[in-house]
Structure 1
Amino acid sequence: MEEKKLDVKTIIGFALIMVLLLWMIYNQSANKEQELKAKAKQEQLDKAKKTQIPESPAVAGKDSTATDSLKVAQLKNSFGAFAYSATLPSAKNDVTEISNDVLLLRIANKGGYISEANLKNFEQFAKGSNERVELIKNNNASFNLQFKTKDNRILNTKDMYFEPAVTKEGNNTVLTLRLKAGENQFLEYRYVLKQDFMLDFSIRTQGLSQVIDTSNPIDLEWQLKAYRNEKSVSYENRYTKVVYEYEDGKDGDLSEGGNDGEKADEVTYVAFKQHFFSSILLTDTSFKTADFTSENLVKDEKVDTLFTKKFTAKMPLAFKGGELNYNMNWYYGPSDYKILNDYDRNLDEVMPLGWGIFGWINRFIFIPVFTFLSSFMPYGIAIIIFTILVRLVMSPVTYKSYVSQAKMKVLRPEINELNEKYKKDPMKKQQETMKLYNSAGVSPMAGCLPALMQIPVFYALFQFFPSFFDLRQKDFLWATDLSSYDAVINLPFYVPFYGNHVSLFPILASVAIFFYMRMTTGDQSMAAPPQEGMPDMSKIMKVMIYISPLMMLIFFNNYASGLSLYYFISNLITIGIMYVIKNHIVKEDKIHAIIASNKSKPKKQNRFQQKMQEMMEQAQEQQKNQNKK
């Protein structure tokens, strides 16, 4: 028999059959998937219809009496006595808008809470963006009261409709919203918008003692997902946190770095603070307890760019005499020290100005001085003048530090001789070294103390510049926003720890730091002789010459350009001051003469030096006794 072979036509036929079969299988699968999706969608619609509040008969109008009665029965089954409120004309998803020159608010009928908070005079991200800062929009916030009724229902105000009424009290706009269980039985929210960022807010009940279980407090829950409003989401997130006041003026906060939670008693305000804007709830009657949580939403700053953190605050509202009555305030506005401080409600603690002496320096020196300077000159120039003033005030400290280093440098040969002479007797070496210092009128601590005195100023400034609201969106030279980074090059890739841009002021500050450390490191290493058993500081300082500028370059790339500008100018001025001191004020021959004169004069030890001398002599005696044994 002749063997059959596959020809081209047969292969094409098989291929067509396979394509046809695959198409039929795919088409059947797609149809089945569409059927499943349609079925799932229908189930969701059916479920939504079951849980949705039926439209008010007053709104429906055309329904028959029997249908109206059925809907009322359904409402009563869901909301009990508060079904009355759902039958009113206001039982629909409308909002009431109230505004003044700085703030626009929209309050929803459903839930009675602020559904939009728009700051009219501030723009997102960059000046000229035409996108207003909106602290609340698109359901990023909620305000809910949960309570138990006499018939054992657990109800949430966010699910029920309030009846709004707008009136005027002078220049103030008053919005009253009532969740009704009857004509004279209601839970009321009352908003009074004045002419600034703070509005009055009250919660009260009337005639609900027979409806609500007043033996237990009502649970208030306030949530907010903070929208990003600045150029750098990571930098903004660093200064975004929960701050609260408790127990008669104490203040606390949650960590900015990650997820956190805390509890507090007798809380009088809760602030959901973003970098430059805040949402704050204040109360005249303190909350007995409060639970706060903060969730970091920026896991990857390249992707998570819409929100920064999610905040939650839970507080109980206690009944008095069977009724609820709380007078509160809402604040939606800038995280501006001057504005917050003027309310005289301890809101200045919302600002991260530093604790103790650091905060005092900022409050009573830096903020008033910089505010004065910036009132009549551009902000960039104000930073330069401010920097010059700070460095001039600190110049005596710089002078004393350098004189101490110069004296130690002159004594270095004699100290080396003592180290060699008594290298086998550390105690004796220490005694003789102390005698040399005393006779020459030199204190080894004199160089450290001036440096320590500068730390409070350094830390206060580190807190001041990122927190000073007035720098936001103010430009200087190539920097378009002194409160954010000053990118001169945008990179097509992301560098870990550095970012996707190159800021110029940190580069200039790094160069200035490098030359400053080059100038001072040699004198410091000469002034501080190596101690036995201790690392050689001269080698460490040589390494720090390169590490310090590199750290400035990397970590300040995303920081406020105003802060980098300050460090650049500060280091330039310090270099100039050190040059003048070194070459025109403090001469080595003069230092030699001073030390020689001090050595020739009899020196009387102070009590501290006497005590140290006695302790060293006792230790030396004990060591001799141990050696004899």
Structure 2
Amino acid sequence: MDKNSVTGLVLISIIIGVFMWWTQPTEEQKAAQKRYQDSIQQVELAKEKAALEFEKKKEAENTIAFDENTADSTIQKELTNKYGLFAHVVTGENQLYTLENSKIKVKFSSKGAKVYSVELKDFKAHNGQPLILFDGDKNVFGFNFFHNNRILNTNDLYYTIDQSATTDSTLSFKLSLGDDQYMAINYQLPADAYMLDFNFEQNSMDDIIQSNRGGFDLNWNLDLLAQEKGRKNEIQYSGVYFKYDQDEIDDIAGKSGEETFRTPVKWVAYKDQFFSSVLIAKDAFSSGSTSIAVHSEEENTPYISTNKTELVIPYEGGAHNVKSFQFFFGPNKFKILKKYKDLGLKDLIPLGWGIFGWVNRYIVIPIFNWLEGSIASYGLIIFILTLIIKLGLFPLTYKSYMSTAKMKVLKPQIDEINEKIPAEKSMERQKATMALYQKAGVSPLGGCLPMVLQMPILFAMFRFFPNSIELRQQSFLWATDLSTYDSILQLPWNIPFYGDHVSLFCLLMSITNIVYTKMNQEMTQSTSQMPGMKGMMYMMPVMFLVFFNNYASGLSYYYFISTLITILQTVLIRRFVDEEAILAKLKANQKKPKKKSGFQARIEEMAKQQQQMQKKKRK
């Protein structure tokens, strides 16, 4: 890339920036746009209200009113004609019941015999309120079945408590139809666990209910509540995760989408950044589908997504049939999830694919957990973790510096080659330069390879910090929460791509990157670096400033400390490295006879072919 290209890119960036600033709407235009959006919202609310009234009217038409003047026999007859043997459970009063242990508090509804709300006791929402995963009718959970030529759903039926099967840790909902015919949903909450066991039980029901497609349809719809301050990041790391039976885990994360399950599925999870609600089958769901509709930052709603799943449960029939399931309601904490190795729940935490995930699982997380056991401050833990990693990578840093130093001391000889050989003969220049490197024993890639080997650590950390629940709501210096952005200044407007605040850790990270870039430029100045690369290198810290402003402050803090340590290492190495001694050694190497490498031979062959082609063109 030449100087003109770089200049062009810079000018284009400036023009785009000025255009975006110039064309941003005025306060009057913003107010008008807000009034327009409010009017649209009012119309939508009116539509929703009308639809709700219509549904209520429709439900009223399908519901038999209990008039005191109506004879009981008439009511019962009409209910029976409509709902058959389930006539006595289609109406009733909803009652709430509770099971809790040291970890979670679960409320259940007698209508539908379903989980009504879940509170995680050890955590708080970003506003300090109790952390509720979901509450009320935002959780729809029920089994579909056929009876009396009608589709019924357990979510709409009223159950009673079976006192004989209920204890402090268990809850049994029963729907009796007489003659030992019943449907039951039984829950058990073990002590100190995030896992809730439950089963769907049917006794002597083959002649009463009919299954669809050889199984029952299970519907699970849930609106996921926002729990974090950084809504943008929370949406990015939220989604629907699912594990195919005997296969890998897949997901729809950070976006709206849908998936059809054509093979058996072991579990489905509704996941936000740090917490998950997971429905697990003891055997497997035979098929089904799932979808997620993400609510953007602009939508005025406390929910980040609406999730819908329909699963098919195989049904073999029989006098007594029990299907067992589990709910996991808990944090996305690696130490907790890895206990369920057979389920693979630890993969709910996106630690990165391939080598990046391995680095996190086998290096970063063990060191982090070890430090966590003896150090209370997570800011100090990150500092020591960074120091350990940088010390471990020091041999690569040293090798990279030495390679750059060798290139630097050879600079005068490279300049001589460039003066002797005109720019038009680029292949001859390259051939001569490579010959010099070969004689001196210098590899042009010597400085790049150590940096490439450090990349897995860099990307692993990019995944680790935003997904580390240990940093959630942990303060350090001016940052109130290391899992989300820190802010030392709230801006009166929102800057596109940057945000409406100033992150100091992000700013410090960008400054140290500029300093380190300057040091590298001094080491490699006027070498065979492409023209314009100097300016391009300085654009990276600016991009970091924009990109990381909304990211986890713990991540920016790590990159800041890491770059600062690299700068100090470079300064120390420079103090103890004698460049004159390096040059003397390289000159001594040049006097030794060298055998041509395969790479050098290919370069020379390419140069000969180019010369021959030029001669033919002249003729």
Q: 2: CA distance between counterparts of 1:48 and 1:564? A: 55
| Residue equivalent to 2:442 | 442
Q: Which amino acid aligns with 1:503?
A: S
Q: 1:610 to 1:497 in 2, by over 3 A?
A: closer
Helix, strand or coil for the counterpart of 2:362? Answer: helix
What are the residue-to-residue correspondences of 1:220-299 with 2, within 5 Å?
220-256=218-254, 258-264=255-261, 265-299=263-297
Query: What is the CA-CA distance between 1:379 and the residue it aligns to?
Result: 1.0
| Residue equivalent to 1:339 | 336
Query: What is the CA-CA distance between 1:332 and the residue it aligns to?
Result: 0.7
Residue 574 (str. 1) matches residue 566 (str. 2): yes
Q: 2: CA distance between counterparts of 1:167 and 1:134? A: 30
Q: 1:528 to 1:164 in 2, by over 3 A?
A: farther
What are the residue-to-residue correspondences of 1:414-453 with 2, within 5 Å?
414-420=413-419, 421=421, 423-453=423-453
| Residue equivalent to 2:529 | 529
Residue 594 (str. 1) matches residue 593 (str. 2): no
Q: Which amino acid aligns with 1:121?
A: D
Q: 1:427 to 1:494 in 2, by over 3 A?
A: closer
Residue 603 (str. 1) matches residue 594 (str. 2): yes
Q: 2: CA distance between counterparts of 1:83 and 1:618? A: 94
Per-residue CA deviations over 1:398-445 (Å, capped at 9, x if unaligned) read 111121112222223333443451644443333333222211111111
Q: Residue 79 of structure 1: which of 83, 99, 113 is its match? A: 83
What are the residue-to-residue correspondences of 1:61-72 with 2, within 5 Å?
67-72=71-76
What are the residue-to-residue correspondences of 1:439-588 with 2, within 5 Å?
439-530=439-530, 536=531, 539-545=532-538, 547-582=539-574, 584-588=575-579
Q: 1:417 to 1:73 in 2, by over 3 A?
A: farther
Query: What is the CA-CA distance between 1:187 and the residue it aligns to?
Result: 2.9
Q: 1:600 to 1:42 in 2, by over 3 A?
A: closer
Q: Which amino acid aligns with 2:145?
A: F
| Residue equivalent to 2:4 | none
Q: 2: CA distance between counterparts of 1:463 and 1:43? A: 48
- Note if contact 2:258-2:289 (Cα within 8 Å) is conserved in structure 1: yes
Query: What is the CA-CA distance between 1:282 and the residue it aligns to?
Result: 1.1
Query: What is the CA-CA distance between 1:244 and the residue it aligns to?
Result: 1.3
Q: 1:528 to 1:628 in 2, by over 3 A?
A: closer
| Residue equivalent to 1:330 | 327
Helix, strand or coil for the counterpart of 2:524? Answer: helix
- Note if contact 1:317-1:324 (Cα within 8 Å) is conserved in structure 2: no
Helix, strand or coil for the counterpart of 1:161? Answer: coil
- Note if contact 1:85-1:163 (Cα within 8 Å) is conserved in structure 2: no
Q: 1: CA distance between counterparts of 2:202 and 2:178? A: 12
Q: Which amino acid aligns with 2:78?
A: Q
The alignment covers a number of residue pairs equal to 563
Q: 2: CA distance between counterparts of 1:166 and 1:593? A: 91
Q: 2: CA distance between counterparts of 1:75 and 1:179? A: 17
Task: Report the TM-score, using the length of structure 1 for normalisation.
Answer: 0.83
- Note if contact 2:143-2:217 (Cα within 8 Å) is conserved in structure 1: yes
Query: What is the CA-CA distance between 1:289 and the residue it aligns to?
Result: 2.0
Per-residue CA deviations over 1:96-155 (Å, capped at 9, x if unaligned) read 2111111111111111211111112211105xx2x1110111322211222233x43122
Q: 1:449 to 1:169 in 2, by over 3 A?
A: farther
| Residue equivalent to 2:412 | 413
Q: 1: CA distance between counterparts of 2:474 and 2:51? A: 53
- Note if contact 1:220-1:315 (Cα within 8 Å) is conserved in structure 2: yes
Per-residue CA deviations over 1:149-205 (Å, capped at 9, x if unaligned) read 3x43122222212222356789x6111223444442233322111121101122232
| Residue equivalent to 2:194 | 197
Helix, strand or coil for the counterpart of 1:254? Answer: strand
Query: What is the CA-CA distance between 1:245 and the residue it aligns to?
Result: 1.0
Name which structure has the greater RCO, CA cutoff 8 Å, separation 6+.
2
Q: 1: CA distance between counterparts of 2:475 and 2:303? A: 26
Q: 1: CA distance between counterparts of 2:283 and 2:53? A: 48
Per-residue CA deviations over 1:478-534 (Å, capped at 9, x if unaligned) read 22211122222333433333333322211222221121111112323434333xxxx
Query: What is the CA-CA distance between 1:75 and the residue it aligns to?
Result: 2.3
Q: Which amino acid aligns with 2:264?
A: E
Query: What is the CA-CA distance between 1:215 and the residue it aligns to?
Result: 5.8
Helix, strand or coil for the counterpart of 2:582? Answer: helix
Query: What is the CA-CA distance between 1:581 and the residue it aligns to?
Result: 1.6
Q: Which amino acid aligns with 2:449?
A: L
Query: What is the CA-CA distance between 1:577 and the residue it aligns to?
Result: 0.8
| Residue equivalent to 1:51 | 62
- Note if contact 1:503-1:557 (Cα within 8 Å) is conserved in structure 2: yes
Deviates more, 1:317-326 or 1:382-391: 317-326
Q: 1:42 to 1:402 in 2, by over 3 A?
A: closer
Q: 2: CA distance between counterparts of 1:448 and 1:209? A: 70
- Note if contact 2:288-2:312 (Cα within 8 Å) is conserved in structure 1: yes
| Residue equivalent to 1:348 | 346
Task: Report the TM-score, using the length of structure 2 for normalisation.
Answer: 0.84
Q: Which amino acid aligns with 1:116?
A: S
Q: 2: CA distance between counterparts of 1:416 and 1:381? A: 48
- Note if contact 1:167-1:174 (Cα within 8 Å) is conserved in structure 2: no
- Note if contact 2:435-2:600 (Cα within 8 Å) is conserved in structure 1: no
| Residue equivalent to 1:144 | 142
Q: 1: CA distance between counterparts of 2:256 and 2:462? A: 24
Q: 1:41 to 1:374 in 2, by over 3 A?
A: closer
Q: 1:231 to 1:202 in 2, by over 3 A?
A: same
Q: 1:432 to 1:178 in 2, by over 3 A?
A: same
| Residue equivalent to 1:4 | none
Q: 1:610 to 1:512 in 2, by over 3 A?
A: closer
Query: What is the CA-CA distance between 1:276 and the residue it aligns to?
Result: 1.1
What are the residue-to-residue correspondences of 1:126-141 with 2, within 5 Å?
126=127, 129=128, 131-141=129-139
Any unmatched runs of 5+ in structure 2?
1-49
Deviates more, 1:426-435 or 1:187-196: 426-435
Query: What is the CA-CA distance between 1:71 and the residue it aligns to?
Result: 2.3
- Compute the RMSD of aligned alpha carbons: 2.8
Any unmatched runs of 5+ in structure 1?
1-38, 531-535
Q: 2: CA distance between counterparts of 1:617 and 1:248? A: 56
Query: What is the CA-CA distance between 1:471 and the residue it aligns to?
Result: 0.9
Helix, strand or coil for the counterpart of 1:139? Answer: helix
Q: 2: CA distance between counterparts of 1:574 and 1:337? A: 30
Deviates more, 1:306-315 or 1:160-169: 160-169
Query: What is the CA-CA distance between 1:555 and the residue it aligns to?
Result: 2.5
Q: Which amino acid aligns with 1:266?
A: P
| Residue equivalent to 2:125 | 124
Query: What is the CA-CA distance between 1:278 and the residue it aligns to?
Result: 0.7
- Note if contact 1:408-1:528 (Cα within 8 Å) is conserved in structure 2: no
Q: 2: CA distance between counterparts of 1:132 and 1:183? A: 45
- Note if contact 1:85-1:180 (Cα within 8 Å) is conserved in structure 2: no
Q: 1: CA distance between counterparts of 2:54 and 2:436? A: 92
- Note if contact 1:428-1:620 (Cα within 8 Å) is conserved in structure 2: no
| Residue equivalent to 2:150 | 153
- Note if contact 1:82-1:180 (Cα within 8 Å) is conserved in structure 2: no
Query: What is the CA-CA distance between 1:295 and the residue it aligns to?
Result: 1.0
Q: 2: CA distance between counterparts of 1:330 and 1:518? A: 54
